[in-house]
Amino acid sequence: MRTYGFLSTHPPTRCGLATFNSALVEQLDGGVVRVDDGEVEQPAPPRVVHTWPSRTPGGWRAAAAALDGFDVAIIQHEYGIYPGADGEEVLPLLRRLTVPSIVVLHTVLTNPSERQRSLLTQIAGAAGAVVTMTNTARDRLLAGYAVDPAKVTVIPHGVAGPVGGATARRDRPHLLTWGLIGPGKGIEWTLRALALLQDLDPAPTYTVAGRTHPKVIEHQGEAYRSGLYQLGAELGISHTVDYQQVYLDQDALGALISSADVVVLPYDSREQVTSGVLIEAVAAGVPVVATPFPHAVELLTNGPGLLVPHRDPTALAAAIRRLLTEPGLADRLSRQSGAELRWPAVAASYGELADRLVAVRAEAVGAAA
- Which one-letter DSSP state was computed for residue 238? G
Q: Note whether 164 and 258 are within 8 A (CB).
A: yes
Using CA atoms, how far apart are residues 271 and 317, in angstroms rounded to an integer? 23
Beta strands in the chain (DSSP E): 4-8, 30-36, 48-53, 72-77, 101-105, 129-132, 152-154, 174-178, 205-209, 241-244, 262-265, 288-290, 305-307
- What is the pLDDT at residue 251? 84
Q: Give bridge partners of residue 263 from the DSSP assignment.
A: 176, 288
For β-strands 288-290 and 30-36, DSSP reports them as unpaired
According to DSSP, residue 328 is labeled T
Fold match, 4-158+342-368 / 174-338: yes
pLDDT of residue 166: 46
327's CB contacts (< 8 A; 6+ apart) are none
Q: Which pLDDT belongs to residue 221?
A: 94
Q: Which of 20, 53, 57 is nearest to 34 (CA)?
A: 53
The answer to whether the CB of 103 falls within 8 A of the CB of 131 is yes
Q: What is the pLDDT of residue 327?
A: 93
Query: Where along the chain do its domains lie?
Result: 4-158+342-368, 174-338
Please state the three-class secondary structure of 93-155 as a single string.
HHHHCCCCEEEEECCCCCCCCHHHHHHHHHHHHHCCEEEECCHHHHHHHHHHCCCCHHHEEEC
Distances (CA, A) of 4 to 102, 259, 280, 347, 355: 10, 37, 25, 11, 11
Mean pLDDT in order along the chain per 10 residues (369 residues): 94 87 92 80 79 87 97 95 93 97 95 96 98 94 96 92 56 95 96 98 97 90 96 97 90 90 96 88 91 92 92 98 94 68 91 95 71
Query: Which H or E run contains 298?
Result: helix 294-300
- Domain 174-338 bears CATH identifier 3.40.50.2000: yes
- Which pLDDT score is estimated for 98? 96
How much is the pLDDT for 1? 82
Rounded Cα distance between 231 and 194, Å, is 12
- Share of residues in the chain with pLDDT > 90 (%): 70
Architecture of the domain spanning 4-158+342-368 = 3-Layer(aba) Sandwich (3.40)
> What is the structure's pLDDT at 285?
87
| pLDDT given at position 164 | 47
As a whole number of angstroms, the distance between CA 92 and CA 162 comes to: 40
Q: Which residues pair with 231 in a beta bridge?
A: none
What pLDDT is stored for residue 248 in this prediction? Answer: 85
Contact 45, 52 (CB under 8 A): no
